[in-house]
Amino acid sequence: MKYIKKIIIYLLFISTANAFADEPPQSVGDLWKIIQAQQAQIDQLNARLETQGKSRETEQTSPSAENTGTASKTTTDVEEVARKTDILGAEVEKLRTALVIPEDKQLKSAYGLGPAASKVYQVDKGLSIGGYGEAFYQNIVADKGDANDNGDFLRAVLYVGYKFTDNIILNTELEFEHASTGKSGSISLEFATLDFLMDPLANIRAGLVLIPMGFINQIHEPNFFFGTQRPEVERRIIPSTWRENGVGLFGELIPGLTYTTYGVNGMDATGFQSSGIRGGRQSGSRVLAEDLAWVGRMDYAPPELPGLQVGGSIYLGNSGQNQVFAGQKINAFTQLYEGHIQWKYRGLEFRALGAWGHIDDADILSAANGQTIGSSNFGWYTEIGYNILPLILPETSHYLAPFFRYERLDPLASVPNGFADVGNLDREIFQFGLQYKPIPNIVIKADYRNFSAREGSVPDEFNLGIGYVF
Amino acid sequence: MKTVKQLVCLLFFSLLILTLTDALGKVFYSKNEAMVLAFGEQAKVELLSLFLTENQISEVEGLSRGKLDSALFSFYVGKQEGRITGYAAIETHTVRTKPETLLVVLDPDGKTRAIHILAFHEPPEYQPPLRWFEQFYKHELDTLDFNQDIQGISGATLSAQSALTSVRKVMAMYRIAKPEDNLN
């Protein structure tokens, strides 16, 4: 018995001594290994104590000085190892938190990192990388016409941000569309902005900015909207993804009331088509800036009703860009107004959005562009989805939501005198589908879209898609 | 139009100069400040390290619906005049690729009393407003769910999701590891 005890104490001494005699632990992992080793020793010694306790009970009738001394020594050893384990536990916690916040106020750096921690662990301070992507397969199920079943890796987007200081931040997104530039794909800058953060009330943003209209144009990661395809209203009436070069302000005026406003280059009316203003986007590439535009947005999320958001936005600007249309220079004043509401409540997700636009000089534009340009356009949609999985599997973290969306849009709501309406563009869309997320960053989608038009037919689709965001 | 353009340029440069000369650096909380936030100036704070068994890890993961990355968990225990005033945990999770660090403060009975963002390394627009966290206060663990008492937030979906998991983790840890039983 005495022999075994000596071996245990010797091993304990050697291992503990080694732990402290070597180089100090370099990481949380190293410390954790030491703690685990010590915890094992504590368990071993505790077991030993229990055994000795039992032995003492049986030997109480004839206690010996040797047994009493052994028990006392082992108890001291256990206490000592427990003390060291506590110290190491505290050190691990200190290292863990030092990776993200400094210990003391005096050690605060610009990024909230302890300077020592960032140096030792080489944490990249300002760089932020993210991205998203989406791909789909489309099966034409009715009114096929000339349409064929198809598939596309629609987007792969890489986000890179850099925090130069706590109040000067760069945000960029580089977009790869349709998988290959050799097959009508493209690589574009989706946005690139410098934010100058001054005060919650007002901050400056400059660069290639996303026009702050609707739901999709600013937040278009596939995980955050229903359906494989973006809503048609937010493609044709609000031409997402719509970005222009500009500068402006954003901030929060009172709790829950946020705004964004930019001055940007105007659109280029030479790109306007019967299907909408989408072709008039300049997307930051060698833009014409003879005409500027103003866009403003406000949203209110009442603090008393978490999950509710209501808002609206306005775009106003000339699109003529000092160019000649059918022999004359025109302003082509372009207006777009939009309102939206979103409500998330107990797994229910509801959205509604309406947009109305007007284009001046539509008759001249129609003559110049060789197709009818709508004097006015409109679109609206509403959708509802509900995460049903917690009803079936209460402890699950997965997400499965059936959803339904209804859309109505007409980019030629009114046409200039002498130009024909295109009834096929006046559309109504019924869509339903399923959205599954095994984790919040991954989404698998399936949906059916039924199109009907005032004139002619539009192919109906069944879509399967995947998406990711990180 | 020319005048408008010139005014816009002038406004931009004026504001830019204002920004650079009167920069209000964004301040994060240090750990010591976080402890004051959690328990007040006068409190004595002790660190309690919990060494979880395999079963406890499994139970906490089940309740929190998230993975634990370690069998070691640390609670900060606030005491005043020998009485426990609350438990706090500093929880760090990845939002997209960058961490967010929360201070989660529990009442002595294990319900969430306060949540503070100590550090947020993603772009600021992904940061949920502090008032959004107020939904968590005084609720039972079982009701902390987007299908129950917590409502989502648009524009910060991933941040909200990971914050929810972190708070559930701290509450589950309290329930399973029973910190009050491990205090000396």
Q: Which residues of A touch B132 (CB under 8 A)?
A: 306
For B147, the closest of A96, A224, A347 (CB atoms) is A347
Does residue B5 carry a pLDDT above 90? no
**Which residues 389-418 of A are in CB contact (within 8 Å) with B?**
390-391, 395-397
Give B-chain residues touching A321 at CB under 8 angstroms.
none
- Which 3 state secondary structure label does DSSP give A139? strand
Residue A242 CA to residue A234 CA, distance in Å, equals 10
Half-sphere exposure of A460 (CA within 13 A, CB side): 15
- Is the domain of A300 the same as that of A316? yes
Residue from B154, B162, B166, B183 whose CB has the most chain A CBs within 10 Å, to mutate: B154
- In this structure, is residue B125 part of a structural domain? yes
Do A271 and A370 lie in one domain? The reply is yes
Q: How far is A264 from chain B (nearest CA, A)?
A: 10
Strands (E) across chain B are located at 44-51, 72-80, 83-94, 99-106, 112-120
From chain A, the residues in CB contact with B129 under 8 A are 255-256
The pLDDT of residue B22 is: 42
Same domain, A64 and A189: no
Comparing alpha-carbon positions, the chain B residue that sits nearest to A470 is B96
With CA atoms as reference, the chain B residue closest to A125 would be B121
Structure token pair of residue A95: 């290292």
Residues A300 and A354 in one domain: yes
Q: Report residue A285: phi and psi, to 5°.
A: -100, 110
**CB-CB contact of A292 with B5 (8 Å):** yes
Same domain, A116 and A131: no
Q: What is the pLDDT of residue B93?
A: 86
**Domain end point (choices A88, A120, A152):** A120
| Of A360, A341, A359, A361, residue with least CA distance to A351 | A341
Rounded Cα–Cα distance for residues A202 and B12 (Å): 12
* pLDDT for res A71: 61
Residue reference for tokens 């075994």: A4
**Which residues form the domain of B36?**
26-182
What's the rounded Cα separation, in Å, for the pair A50 and A53? 5
Q: Are residues A351 and A305 in the same domain?
A: yes
ipTM, interface predicted TM-score of the complex: 0.72
Nearest in space to A241 (alpha carbons), one of A118, A358, A157, A152: A157
**CA-closest candidate to residue A96, choices B181, B16, B73:** B73
Smallest CA–CA distance, residue B41 to chain A, in Å, is: 15
- Of the spans A441-450, B22-31, B151-160, which averages the highest pLDDT? A441-450
Task: Evaluate the omega torsion of the peptide bond into residue A241 and state whether it is cis, within 30 degrees of 0.
Answer: yes
Nearest C-alpha neighbor of A440 from the set A223, A124, A185: A223
DSSP helix/strand/coil, B50: strand
Whole-angstrom distance, CA of residue A346 vs CA of residue A164? 39
**Min Cα separation B161/chain A (Å):** 8
pLDDT of residue B142: 86
- State how many domains chain A has: 2
Q: Give the residue among A281, A246, A247, A266 at the shortest CA–CA distance from A317.
A: A266
Which has the closest alpha carbon to B104: B122, B119, B116?
A: B116
Give how far B109 is from chain A: nearest CA, Å: 23
- Asked whether residue A132 falls in the same domain as residue A116, the answer is no
Residues of B in contact with A467 (CB under 8 A): none
Nearest by CB to A196, from B16, B25, B131: name it.
B16
Chain A interface mutation, best of B37, B58, B146, highest count of A Cβ atoms under 10 Å: B146
Q: Rounded to the nearest 5°, which phi and psi values hold at A311?
A: -175, 180
What was the pLDDT predicted at A102? 74
- Note whether residue B10 is domain-resident: no
Does B23 contact A198 at a Cβ distance shorter than 8 Å? Answer: yes
CATH classification at residue A150: 2.40.160.10
From A347, A311, A317, select the one nearest A332 (Cα to Cα).
A317
Q: What H or E segment, with its residue span, contains residue B150?
A: none
Q: What is the DSSP string of A312-381?
A: EEEEEEE--TT-EETTEE---EEEEEEEEEEEEETTEEEEEEEEEEEETTHHHHHHHHTSPPPSEEEEEE
- Which residues of chain B are within 8 Å of residue A92 when distances are taken between CB atoms? 49, 72, 74
The domain boundary residue, chosen from A67, A91, A120? A120
Say if residue A150 is in the same domain as residue A75.
no
Most A CBs within 10 Å, among B21, B22, B24, B28, to test the A interface: B28
Would you call A89 and B97 a contact, using CB atoms and an 8 Å cutoff? no
Q: How many residues does chain B have?
A: 184
- For A420, counting Cβ atoms within 10 Å of its Cβ (0-12 exposed, 13-18 middle, 19+ buried), the class is exposed
Contact by Cβ (8 Å): A448, A228: no
Say yes or no: A203 and A140 in one domain: yes
Q: Are residues A133 and A101 in the same domain?
A: no
Residues of B in contact with A288 (CB under 8 A): none
Residues A329, A360: Cα–Cα separation, whole Å: 13
Q: Over its length of 470 residues, how does chain A's per-residue pLDDT go in tens digits?
A: 444 444 444 444 334 434 444 445 555 566 666 667 777 776 777 677 677 666 656 555 555 555 556 666 677 778 778 777 778 887 777 777 776 777 765 444 433 333 333 333 334 567 888 899 999 999 999 898 889 999 999 999 999 888 888 788 888 999 999 999 988 899 999 999 999 988 889 999 999 999 999 999 998 999 999 999 999 999 999 999 999 999 999 999 999 999 999 999 999 999 999 999 999 999 999 999 999 999 999 999 998 898 999 999 999 999 999 999 999 999 999 999 999 999 999 999 999 999 999 999 999 999 999 999 999 999 999 999 999 999 999 888 899 999 999 999 999 999 999 999 999 999 999 999 999 999 989 999 999 999 999 999 999 999 999 999 98
Q: Is the model's pTM score more than 0.95? A: no
pLDDT at A53: 60
Distance from CA of B100 to the nearest CA of A (A): 8
Return left, alpha or beta for B145; rule: phi > 0 is left, psi -120 to 50 is alpha, else beta. beta
Residue A449 contacts by C-beta under 8 Å, 6 or more apart in sequence? Answer: A227, A229, A429, A430, A431, A460, A461, A463
B71-125 per-position pLDDT tens digit: 889 999 999 988 999 999 999 888 877 788 899 999 999 999 999 998 887 777 7
State whether A112 and B119 contact (CB < 8 Å).
yes
Domain boundary among A67, A90, A120: A120
* Residue from A198, A219, A223, A287 whose CB has the most chain B CBs within 10 Å, to mutate: A198
- Is B163 among the domain residues? yes
Task: Let me know whether A146 and A15 are in one domain.
Answer: no
> Is residue B77 left, alpha or beta, with left meaning phi > 0 and alpha meaning psi from -120 to 50?
beta
Residue A225 structural domain: 126-469
Chain A positions in Cβ-Cβ contact with residue B92 (cut-off 8 Å): 96-97, 99-100
* Among candidate residues B116, B120, B145, B144, the one with its CA nearest the CA of residue B130: B116
Q: What average pLDDT score do residues B23-47 get?
A: 79
Q: Report pLDDT digits (tens) over A63-75.
A: 555 555 666 667 7
On whether the CB atoms of residues A394 and B63 are closer than 8 A, the answer is no
- pLDDT number for residue A61: 52
Within-domain flag for B18 = no
Indicate the number of domains in chain B. 1
Q: What is the C-alpha separation between A341 and B156, in angstroms, rounded?
A: 17
Give the residue-averaged pLDDT of B55-65.
92
Token pair belonging to B166: 């972190």
H/E stretch holding A221 reads none
* Token pair in block for residue B144: 């902390």
Q: How much is the pLDDT for B154?
A: 76
Average pLDDT, chain B: 83
